[in-house]
Amino acid sequence: YNFWTFRSLETGISLEATLLALALAYQMRQHQAARMQATYQANHDPLTELYNRRGFMGPARSAWSTAERSGRSLSVILLDLDHFKQINDAHGHSVGDQALVTCARMLASAGRAGDVVARWGGEEFIVLLPDTDQAQACALAERLRLALADCPIETQNSTLHITASFGVAERAESSQFDD
């Protein structure tokens, strides 16, 4: 026996423990990244990258609760792209997808930091507006309507202008979130 052979077992165990700790940390980071990716995919629409209906509900309920406690106004805009089925039938689903993405980008860029924008259904979008009364929400809806009509979509044969129908509602004192 000499010093190196006597200490080789301790060195080997230390090295093995270090490698095991590094491998475990790497696996935990991979698991955490996969979990975050799964959560993102569960709450976001893959085409538009906006919240989907499920993802919208968390921030919306939180904003509703805050508005209710503080007595502040809260409004919502719901919009539905006009004649969307005809766009898909006449120009194909890729142009329909392009129309959805164009609308989503316009809505996301037009909102404030605290607004919550989501794809509510097939061609429906919703915008939650904290600290916004109905008159302000109507004015924003009109600006959004004009901006959307001003976003042309180039197809192989023509330029398409999409329009949408808008609805606006404000939180009433006695209303519930689902109302």
- 104-117, pLDDT tens digit by residue? 999 999 988 899 99
Tokens of 149: 């009509």
Q: How confident is the model at residue 23 (pLDDT cuts 50, 70, 90)?
A: very high
Which pLDDT score, from 0 to 100, does residue 104 have?
96
Q: Residue 57: phi, psi to the nearest 5? A: -60, -35
| Gap between the Cα atoms of 64 and 131, Å rounded | 10
- Does 123 participate in catalysis according to the annotation? yes
Q: pLDDT band for position 82 (50/70/90)? A: very high
Asked if residues 91 and 99 have their Cβ atoms less than 8 Å apart, the reply is no
Tell me how far apart the alpha carbons of residues 173 and 22 are, in angstroms, rounded to a whole number.
Answer: 56
CB burial readout 114-144, b (16+ within 10 A) else e = ebbbbbbeebbbbbbbbbbebeebbebbeeb
Q: What is the pLDDT of residues 27-81, one digit of tens each?
A: 999 999 999 999 999 999 999 999 999 999 999 999 999 999 999 999 999 999 9
In this structure, the number of other CB atoms found within 10 A of the CB of residue 37 comes to 10
CA distance 101 to 98: 5
Q: Please state, as a whole number, how many other Cβ atoms lie within 10 Å of the Cβ of residue 81.
A: 21
Task: Report the candidate in 76, 59, 54, 65 with the shortest Cα–Cα distance to residue 176.
Answer: 65
- For residue 130, give the 3-state DSSP assignment: strand
Q: What is the pLDDT of residues 58-70, one digit of tens each?
A: 999 999 999 999 9
Q: Are 104 and 119 in contact (CB under 8 A)?
A: yes
Mean per-residue pLDDT of the chain: 93
Of these residues, 123, 154, 170, 173, which one is catalytic? 123
Q: Evaluate if residue 6 carries a pLDDT over 80.
A: no
Q: Are 130 and 37 in contact (CB under 8 A)?
A: no
